[in-house]
Structure 1
Amino acid sequence: MIEFHQVTAYQQQTRVLNRLSLKIESHERVAILGPNGAGKSTLLKLINRELYPVAQEGSYLKLFDSETIHLWQLRDRIGFVSHDLQENYTPYTTALEVVVSGFFGAIGSHEHLQPTNIQVDQARAMMTILGIAQDEACMFQRLSTGQKRRLLLARALVHHPEALIFDEPANGLDMGASLSMLTLLRSFCSEDRSLIITTHHVDEIIPEIDRVVLINRGQIIADGPKPDILTSENLSELYQTRLHTSEKNGWYRCWHD
């Protein structure tokens, strides 16, 4: 589904990824874990075509086995949710319009993008599934952080993509909203679709995720099955502090001395 090979990328004048290689197959459920500034969000922006890698010999980025996939095809196949999207979303868009905009890959409503009645019905159905149908007429800016995150998840899923990519799903949420969001992600996994999340918190890695990639300073430092990667030694190296991990029912927790 996704293949980075020796990819280098910059954000403004700063090199964020340095000759990074990573392959993720269809139907995998992967967590990309690393500290703030490690390069996680940049990696996702490359997948979403918000950012492009440096053109250099021997380097490529393939999405669905193509280096030149059309943007509309990409939007049909991948649903994307990020904190940046939430912060930059048109504030006076209604909740229903937010979800409907997922059919067009748009941010907000636009006169030239008119949804069909079927699309509106599908948007309402997705809002019902995610427990936000009652917010249909509310303005995006007036909703809580948890409600906004659910709306953007509905927007990402309304066209039933093959894969969901979620940048820090519990970022900015209180404990109740965080647990609710993670429960929704677990429900998504029950439908046998691909999931990629980024996070810097081990306890956001839901049991259904079976592969973990550790990233720091723009390079991958470990990659493999979750039990092999989420060890005290690996996480201590990643975060440069003495850490301990434990597991219960597929959930991991981490603490320091």
Structure 2
Amino acid sequence: MCQKNKKLGTTSEPNLTNPHNSLKTHFLQSFPQSYRRSQEIQHFKTRRIATLSTGEMMMCLLLRAVAGEPKLLLLDEPASGLDMYNRAIVLDFIKRLSNDKRAILSVTHHLEELPEELDLVAVLKHGRQLRTGAPENVLTDSVLSETFSCRVEVIKSKGRYLANAFLE
């Protein structure tokens, strides 16, 4: 999805059939020339795919998704499987992308992965839309308790949402 004039960027997994390929030969060559020189990808260009951590691979996928300057970025669990440090790096990168007036649609099960500046939240249950609206009206104890069929307590701290689930 790195071609110019694309409207959608995604973080789909690269084809890892040969994990010994360097990222440069594997998929960084699809970046526009001006983007290939960006500082954010310079330390990846000689790395082998097999040597990347999950967090580094996610950063590569995010960089590849935005290389074509899409108007909409579709993210599916962008911080899944990351430790707290790499999650913070990925979430900070996504926050910077949202500041570029880019529409971002992110799917997650973890409230702490939501960006601080949310315009709209939709909560799904069994594939159906349960609630949609402003985060303060949707990310509530009652809505999330109904969604997850257990007691959920939502906390907002320093602009971020956190949740705890209790099986009672």
What is the SS of the residue equivalent to 1:215?
A: strand
Query: Match for residue 153 of structure 1?
Result: 62
- Within the candidate set 113, 121, 127, 1:218 is matched to 127
Q: Which amino acid aligns with 1:95?
A: L
Q: State the identity as a percent.
A: 28
Unaligned runs of 5+ in 1: 1-47, 49-71, 104-118
Q: Distance in 2 between matches of 1:239 and 1:212?
A: 16
Q: Which amino acid aligns with 2:159?
A: G
Q: TM-score, normalised by structure 2?
A: 0.87
Deviation at 1:226, TM superposition (A): 0.8
Q: Distance in 2 between matches of 1:95 and 1:222?
A: 41
Aligned counterparts, 1:134-145, within 5 A: 134-145=43-54
User: Does residue 95 of the first structure (1) align with residue 8 of the second (2)?
Assistant: no
Query: Match for residue 242 of structure 1?
Result: 151
Q: Bigger shift: 215-224 or 228-237?
A: 215-224
Aligned counterparts, 1:17-36, within 5 A: none
Deviation at 1:79, TM superposition (A): 0.7
The Cα RMSD (Å) is 2.1
Q: TM-score, normalised by structure 1?
A: 0.59
Q: Which amino acid aligns with 2:65?
A: A
Deviation at 1:207, TM superposition (A): 0.7
- Within the candidate set 175, 184, 188, 2:97 is matched to 188
Unaligned runs of 5+ in 2: none
- Mapped contact 1:214–1:221 kept (Cα < 8 A): yes
- Mapped contact 2:28–2:45 kept (Cα < 8 A): no
After superposition, give the CA deviation of every residue in 1:156-206 in whole Å (9 maximum; x if it has no partner).
111111111111011011110001100000100111110010000011111
Higher-strand-fraction structure: 1
Deviation at 1:210, TM superposition (A): 1.9
Query: Match for residue 9 of structure 2?
Result: 79
Deviation at 1:93, TM superposition (A): 3.7
After superposition, give the CA deviation of every residue in 1:71-108 in whole Å (9 maximum; x if it has no partner).
x89x81111014xx15x44434422342333x5xxxxx
Deviation at 1:142, TM superposition (A): 1.9
